[in-house]
Chains A and B, each alone.
Chain A
Amino acid sequence: NAGVTQTPKFRVLKTGQSMTLLCAQDMNHEYMYWYRQDPGMGLRLIHYSVGEGTTAKGEVPDGYNVSRLKKQNFLLGLESAAPSQTSVYFCASSYNSGSPPYEQYFGPGTRLTVT
């Protein structure tokens, strides 16, 4: 099993450009999450999904959109990138057997720089 994979690993964007980050998991997990990690801020939840076709806002959703068209994929979009979105982005997924909260499995991250 590959676990949680993220594409791309690195990206540099100019202000105003758009891009999509792809997260894929092969563990048949129901729940998926997008976080951003910034120095001194820890991990902050951007959006999450509790199943195919459903998404919800997290702590810092502004400037981002997400889609979960297939159970194994969770896409994070930036329509008009801003320098404040320079960060490391992590995707995570979790199973839903038993009672929450559930252990989250993380991808290796995408380092995004917006100039």
Chain B
Amino acid sequence: GNSVTQMEGPVTLSEEAFLTINCTYTATGYPSLFWYVQYPGEGLQLLLKATKADDKGSNKGFEATYRKETTSFHLEKGSVQVSDSAVYFCAEGGSNYKLTFGKGTLLTVNP
């Protein structure tokens, strides 16, 4: 079946550091790819998405590019803030209404 593998955390950075969280997927066809974010004590919310190869999703300074050749969708941000501290989930979805999530990566940003 489909699966999503993302880098294990926790990831701890200083404010204004560069962030990369790796995500790779296995799926047949051309799934859509998502990054969700979960702030402490809250549910997940969509951060960005890409629906076809070479698409770049972006939101709130975060970016991720759909790389079909490497089956990857790595999340990046050039300068993180304390308020970015959260758990980040990579997910993929095909044509059957369901999403497959990675295990999540905890990011802590220190001032």
Chain A residues within CB distance 8 Å of chain B: 4, 31, 33, 40-43, 45, 48, 50, 58, 90, 92, 94, 96, 99-109
Contact = CB atoms under 8 A, between A and B. Distances in A.
Contact of A40 (B45, B46, B98, B103): B103
B62 to A, nearest CB: 16
A94 B97 contact: yes
A45 B93 CA distance: 13
B107 interface: no
Interface range for B: 20 to 34
A101 B93 contact: yes
Nearest to A38: B103
Given A40-B103, A42-B104, A100 B46 contact: no
B98 A108 contact: no
B95 A101 contact: yes
A29 to B, nearest CB: 11
B43 A108 contact: yes
Contacts of A102: 93, 97
B97 A41 contact: no
Interface in B79-100: 89, 93-99
Contact of B94 (A45, A96, A100): A100
Interface in B20-58: 31-32, 34, 36, 41-46, 49
A52 to B, nearest CB: 15
Given A107-B43, A109-B43, A101 B101 contact: no
B46 A103 contact: yes
